[in-house]
Amino acid sequence: VGTVLKIEDAKSAINVRAKFLMSPATVKDIMEMDYVQSGEILYISGTMTPTEILSACDEGAKIVKIYPVSALDGFQYISTLKKAFPHIFMVASQGITIDSIGEYILRGASAVVLSYAIFDKDAIAQHDLDKIQKLAHSATLVDNKSVNR
């Protein structure tokens, strides 16, 4: 579940059986939750800079979200970060298109967030679930060479 900014929201999500939580920044209270510390719930901590990445990992993050990646030169930024942090799993987030998934994966992202690429605003406004389903399906058809690196 994302975007989770407060511990109350994290607890609500966990109560309805969320298995992961994601934030655009590192929320220390969420990071320190027993569910997160025990590994029962995956918390994807939001980071932007190398300092934030290292701090989040020092606090126990298993994976970090790089946000907003498109404002930081996109897949080139991921590639640069992976040179310094090859051991850290990174989720690229914000401004990612279905067509760019493969490049992000090739450059070192472990995963991508496709919120706006799949949940098209017009489709949502028109309750066009067929369009949303087609967009989600097209994201699953990304070149396997990228994904199976």
- Rounded mean pLDDT, 12-29: 96
The reported pTM is 0.87
Band (108; pLDDT cuts 50, 70, 90): very high
110: DSSP letter: S
Structural domain for 23, as ranges: 7-147
Q: Please indicate, yes or no, if residue 48 is contained in any of the structural domains.
A: yes
Count of the separate structural domains present in the chain: 1
Q: Please indicate, yes or no, if residue 2 is contained in any of the structural domains.
A: no
